[in-house]
Amino acid sequence: MNWLAKVVQDEPDEFVHAKLVKYGIGSHHGPRAYLTFSKKRISFKVDLGFEDTFIQGYVDGAPEGTHRISGLIVSYSDRTNEFADLNMPLLWKKSGGKGPPTYKAKLNEIAPLQDIKQLVQNEGPTTFFLLSMSPSAAGTPWKMTTKTSFPKAPKGAEEGQTKVKAPVFCKGALANTPDIMEFILRETLPDLWEKIDQKTKKVEILHTIVIESIEIPEDPNLSFAEKRKMAKRTARLLRKVVIDDKEFTSEYEFVA
């Protein structure tokens, strides 16, 4: 389940916690999703934070056979052994520096859909799949592209304020089937999915994340990086959803 959907459903977990580590006290732009619906396709443009939903939607519904897959897997913990038994071999590179180590594996190959499914099942709170995929044979509308570098953190946001430019981090199209439509709506609109019908043409989902306080562990044996990683944040998620011409706003308090 997408981490934002977990917040909406009052089920914050370690995935939600990991997404909040980068935020300090104050208001911040959160992930956005722009969806458009036609009879045969679901088109999407989303920010970092929603890409996992559409990667899962792709592997769940794409046609069987081989697919072109390229991109990057980034992990902030050493998970090389967890990926070692996959049919898709990965060459990991560890990078260091002042901060914690980062593990990266590049992908650029043609692989069976089943192997790609096994790959993305190895999700983790600090693991990111930055993947672009399309069927090897003709398979429209199935296609998605994801950038392989993380976007710069935007400046602080006023409550309810959102950017004007459409998301560009991850975009593409999936087939508009009942199963895929239900999955995408449950992941992106767990509070409003019943508002969507066959006449709906577009949806815009915008978030502001407000960090109210940060509880930092007092253990003197912990490093600064460890304290930052373990700190709990009391927060609010402000949602603004526009379904065609109708606007819905909501607010969710949570701790993670």
pLDDT value of position 137: 87
Residue ranges covered by each domain of the chain: 3-255
pLDDT value of position 181: 97
pLDDT value of position 153: 63
- Mapped onto helix, strand or coil, the DSSP state of residue 90 is coil
196 near 238, Cβ under 8 Å? Answer: no
Strand segments, DSSP code E, in the chain are 26-29, 33-37, 41-46, 66-75, 92-95, 102-112, 127-135, 143-146, 170-175, 202-215, 232-243, 246-255
pLDDT value of position 96: 74
pLDDT value of position 130: 98
50 near 2, Cβ under 8 Å? Answer: yes
Q: How far is CA 175 from the centre of its chain?
A: 19
pLDDT value of position 156: 45
pLDDT value of position 251: 98
pLDDT value of position 32: 97
pLDDT value of position 192: 97
Output the CA angle 226-232-236, nearest 5 degrees: 140
Q: What is the pTM of this model?
A: 0.92
Return averaged pLDDT per consecutive 10 residues of the chain, 256 residues in all: 97 96 95 97 98 98 96 95 91 83 95 97 96 90 96 57 75 97 98 96 97 94 88 97 97 98
110 near 120, Cβ under 8 Å? Answer: no
pLDDT value of position 193: 96
pLDDT value of position 154: 54
